[in-house]
Amino acid sequence: MDISQSLNKKIIDIVGKDFVFADKQDMVVYESDGTHDKGMPDFVVLPRTTEEVAKLVLLANEFELPIIARGSGTGLSGGAVPVHGGLVISLNRMNTIIDIDVDSSTATVEAGVINLEISNKASEYGLFYAPDPSSQHACTIGGNIAENSGGPHCLAYGVTTNHVLAIEVVLPDGEITWFGDFNKEVPGVDFRGLFIGSEGTFGICTKVVVKLLQKPQDVKTMLIAFSSIQDAANATTAIIGAGIIPAAIEMMDKTASDAAEEATNAGIPKNSGAVLLIEIEGFESDINDQGKLISDVIYEFNPVDIKIAKNDQERDLFWKARKGVLGALGRIAPNYFLVDGTVPRTKLSAVLSEVSTLAKKYNLIVANVLHAGDGNLHPCILFDQQTPGDTDKALKLGGDILKVCVENGGVLSGEHGIGYEKRDYMPLLFSEIDLNNMKILKNIFDPDGLFNPGKIFPVE
Ligand X SMILES: Cc1cc2nc3c(=O)[nH]c(=O)nc-3n(C[C@H](O)[C@H](O)[C@H](O)COP(=O)(O)OP(=O)(O)OC[C@H]3O[C@@H](n4cnc5c(N)ncnc54)[C@H](O)[C@@H]3O)c2cc1C
Round to whole Å and give the CA distance between 157 and 140: 19
The item of another protein, ligand X, ligand SF4, none sharing an interface with residue 345, based on CB under 5 to 8 Å by kind, is another protein
**Does 168 help bind ligand X (rule: CB under 6 A)?**
no
Q: Does 286 bind another protein (CB under 8 A)?
A: yes
193 binds another protein (CB under 8 A): yes
Helix (H) or strand (E) segment spanning residue 25: helix 24-27
Q: Closest distance between ligand X and the C-beta of residue 250, in Å?
A: 9
- Candidates 70, 189, 199, 90; CA nearest to 147 is 199
Q: Which stretch binds another protein (CB under 8 A): 4-12, 52-60, 211-219, 220-228?
A: 211-219
Number of residues that bind ligand SF4 (CB under 6 A): 2
The entry of another protein, ligand SF4, ligand X, none near residue 205 (CB within 5 to 8 angstroms by kind) is: ligand X
Helix axes 229-241, 348-362, angle to 10 degrees: 160
Q: Is 193 in the site for ligand SF4 (CB under 6 A)?
A: no
Nearer to ligand X, 34 or 291 (CB): 34
The C-alpha atoms of residue 272 and residue 331 are separated, in whole angstroms, by 19
For ligand X, the binding residues in 178-217 under the rule CB under 6 A are 199-200, 204-205
Residue 111 sits in the site that holds ligand X (CB under 6 A): yes
**Integer angstrom CA distances of residue 84 from 124, 172, 252, 449:** 44, 17, 36, 12
DSSP annotation of 218 reads E
In angstroms, give the least distance from the CB of 19 to ligand X.
Answer: 16
The yes or no reply on residue 324 touching ligand SF4 (CB under 6 A) is no
Q: Which does 4 bind (CB under 5 to 8 A by kind): ligand SF4, ligand X, another protein, none?
A: none
Alpha helices in 34-80 (DSSP H): 50-62
Task: Please give the Cα distance from 338 to 34 (Å, whole number).
Answer: 10
Residue 355 CA: distances (Å) to CA of 339, 347, 359, 399 = 11, 12, 6, 11
- Candidate segments 15-23, 141-149, 185-193, 383-391, binder of ligand X by CB under 6 A: 141-149
Binding partner of residue 133 among another protein, ligand X, ligand SF4, none, CB under 5 to 8 Å per kind? ligand X
Task: Let me know: does 438 contact 369? Beta carbons within 8 Å.
Answer: no
Query: CB–CB of 106/115 below 8 Å?
Result: no
226 binds, among ligand X, another protein, ligand SF4, none (CB under 5 to 8 A by kind): none
- Taking the complex as a whole, how short is the minimal distance between the CB of residue 119 and another protein, in angstroms? 13
Contact call for residue 427 and ligand SF4 (CB under 6 A): no
**Contact at 8 Å (CB) between 383 and 347?**
no
Give me the least distance between CB of 59 and another protein, in Å please: 19
**Binding residue for another protein, selected from 45, 329, 367, 404, defined by CB under 8 A:** 329
**Angle at which helices 254-264 and 312-323 cross, to 10°:** 120
Asked whether the beta carbons of 235 and 298 are under 8 A apart, the reply is yes
Q: Which of residues 327-356 bind ligand SF4 (CB under 6 A)?
A: 327, 330
Q: Of the candidates 229, 418, 451, 453, which one interacts with another protein according to CB under 8 A?
A: 418
Strand segments (E) across 257-352: 274-282, 303-308, 335-338
Report the residue from 50, 119, 140, 230 that binds ligand X according to the rule CB under 6 A.
140
Closest distance of CB 44 from ligand SF4, Å: 18
DSSP 19: G
- Start-to-end CA distance of the chain, whole Å, equals 37
Which of the listed partners (ligand SF4, ligand X, another protein, none) does 243 bind, with a CB threshold of 5 to 8 Å by partner kind? Answer: another protein
DSSP bridge partners of 21: 44
Candidates 224-232, 301-309, 361-369, 430-438; binding stretch for another protein (CB under 8 A): 430-438
Query: Which of residues 289 and 305 has its CB atom nearest to another protein in the complex?
Result: 289
* Binding-residue pattern over the window 289 to 308 for another protein, x denoting contact by CB under 8 A: xx------------------
341 binds ligand X (CB under 6 A): no
CA dihedral 80, 82, 83, 84 (to 10 degrees): 140
Residue 310: what are its φ and ψ, rounded to 5°? -80, -30
Smaller CB separation from another protein, 182 or 360: 182
Q: For residue 452, what is the DSSP state?
A: S
Of 219, 238, 456, nearest to 345 (Cα)? 238
Which SS3 state, helix, strand or coil, does residue 446 take? coil
> Least distance from C-beta 10 to another protein, angstroms?
21
Residues of the shown chain interacting with ligand X in the complex, contacts defined by CB under 6 A = 33-34, 68-76, 79-80, 91, 111, 133-135, 139-140, 142-144, 146-147, 149-151, 199-200, 204-205, 326-327, 415-416, 452
